[in-house]
Homo-oligomer: A and B are copies of this chain.
């Protein structure tokens, strides 16, 4: 392998190792994933991995931290930029299928679920930095819509959970049941339907 000499090249190599680790952890789970395989998937030898990470556990930590956290801030900004609550919800329902189909989120979710008991601190941190903030942003949006009379919302926190539930469902579905299946779930249609049903359910009678 070519040497990574500049600090930029090293950062690239670190990222290549994390990409390889995501795929290996996703396919085999944390315990069954082999450092040798992560290394060769990134095009280096095992020893090199230990130049970039102290241990297998640190690779895992690095992986979780590299994904999702930055994305949540984007989400918060986007939702605040909307003119109305319904508009914000519609933006959300256009983002969701993209997250499910074109981001590493489903793979990461699978890894996190599968190995959550081995890394309780990681789960706790992830929950605070990603999940709670995501739910919080949607809760705020719903409460703003309620205040303006635009939406009928009984319990904003629970409603926020019902809003995101299909994204969790779709992510799990893709990753667990859609490996080499002829007819994949129509994610766009699912979220269009979810959109219309949520809007109807939250509109004034």
Contacts and interface: CB of A to CB of B under 8 A. Distances in A.
A193 B159 contact: yes
How many copies the complex holds: the figure is: 2
Contacts of A51: none
Interface string A115-134: 11110100100010001000
Contacts of A29: 29-31, 114-115, 117-118
Interface string A23-62: 0001111111000000000000000000000000000000
Interface in A102-148: 110, 112-118, 120, 123, 127, 131
Contact of A176 (B112, B158, B196, B197): B112
A98 interface: no
Contacts of A161: 166, 169, 185, 190
- Residue in A31, A117, A118, A196 with the greatest tally of chain B CB atoms within 10 Å: A117
Contacts of A193: 154-155, 158-159, 162
